[in-house]
Amino acid sequence: MAMKQLAVFASGTGSNFDAIMQAKQAGTLDAKVELVVCDRPGAPVIAKAEQAGVPVLVLRPKDFDGKALYEEHVLSACRAHDIDGIILAGYMRLIGPTLLASYQQRILNIHPSLLPAFPGKDAVGQALDKGVKMTGVTVHYVDDGMDTGPIIAQEAVPVADDDTKESLQAKIQAVEHRLYPEVIQSLSMKEESL
Ligand code: GRF
């Protein structure tokens, strides 16, 4: 089964969500975003989704009695929207067994480094602190670890001597906004996806 009906999970700005929507509009992406799940009330991605006419589920995980119940709720919404693929785009939360079991090999993440280098938070800052000359972007399947799942695609981004966190982040995001829709499209075309 191909990934055609997507849910985007996001906690923040939503620039990758925007890039995915733009690819759909440009006709370079066949899959459709049917739902946005946001775990942070007030996050800018919420207004972006509303403006795009995509249903948004905004939840506060601490309102639930544990991660399993939170994920059960998210799972019900995904099922109600016939979601067959989950796209993490700045979702600041580890996916637990409830969602992993139901969407095995159907959850993707994008991370701003060449994994396995610099997993976790602030990958751009970590790269600058280490003084690497090359970093990049990774799209990978999600497993139960932190940025550890099988790698699908990577693209390198050179680090200039005068790069700041902001300038490097901007270069990385420009790559993300092209690469993520491309990878999603290639997976959405696979008959026996993932
Ligand atoms: C991206 O840089 C992505 O790599 C990371 O979180 C960021 C989300 O940015 N996982 P945005 O909310 O899509 O602008």
111 carries an active-site annotation: yes
Q: What is the pLDDT of residue 11?
A: 98
Could you tell me if 168 and 123 are in contact, meaning their C-beta atoms sit under 8 angstroms apart?
A: no
Centroid of ligand 1 to alpha carbon of 62 (angstroms): 22
Centroid of ligand 1 to alpha carbon of 91 (angstroms): 8
Q: Where are the beta strands (DSSP E) in the chain?
A: 5-10, 32-38, 56-58, 85-88, 107-111, 134-141, 151-158
Write out the two tokens for 73: 């709720």
Q: What is the pLDDT of residue 190?
A: 79
Which amino acid residue places its CA nearest to atom 5 of ligand 1?
Answer: 90
The burial of 59, by beta-carbon neighbours within 10 Å (0-12 exposed, 13-18 middle, 19 or more buried), is given as middle
Write out the two tokens for 46: 């919420």
- CA 72/CA 5 separation, integer angstroms: 19
pTM: 0.96
Q: pLDDT in tens for each of the 194 residues of the chain?
A: 689 999 999 999 999 999 999 999 999 999 999 999 999 999 999 999 999 999 999 999 999 999 999 999 999 999 999 999 999 999 999 999 999 999 999 999 999 999 999 999 999 999 999 999 999 999 999 999 999 999 999 999 999 999 999 999 999 999 999 999 999 999 998 764 44
Domain ranges of the chain: 5-109+139-153+178-188
Could you tell me if 45 and 15 are in contact, meaning their C-beta atoms sit under 8 angstroms apart?
A: no
Backbone angles phi, psi at 23, to 5 degrees: -65, -40
> How do the residues of the chain divide into helix, strand and coil, expressed in percent and rounded to 5?
40, 20, 40
Q: What is the pLDDT of residue 191?
A: 64
The CB-based long-range contact list for 74-82 (8 Å cut-off, 24+ gap) reads: 74/37, 74/99, 75/99, 75/102, 77/7, 77/35, 77/37, 78/7, 78/35, 78/37, 78/102, 78/103, 81/5, 81/7, 81/34, 81/35, 81/55, 82/5, 82/34
Check pocket membership of 112 for ligand 1, CB cut-off 6 A: yes
State CA 143 to chain mean position distance: 13
CATH class of the domain at 5-109+139-153+178-188: alpha beta
Check pocket membership of 39 for ligand 1, CB cut-off 6 A: no
Q: What is the pLDDT of residue 193?
A: 42
- CA 152/CA 149 separation, integer angstroms: 9
Centroid of ligand 1 to alpha carbon of 98 (angstroms): 24
Check pocket membership of 10 for ligand 1, CB cut-off 6 A: yes
Backbone angles phi, psi at 137, to 5 degrees: -135, 140
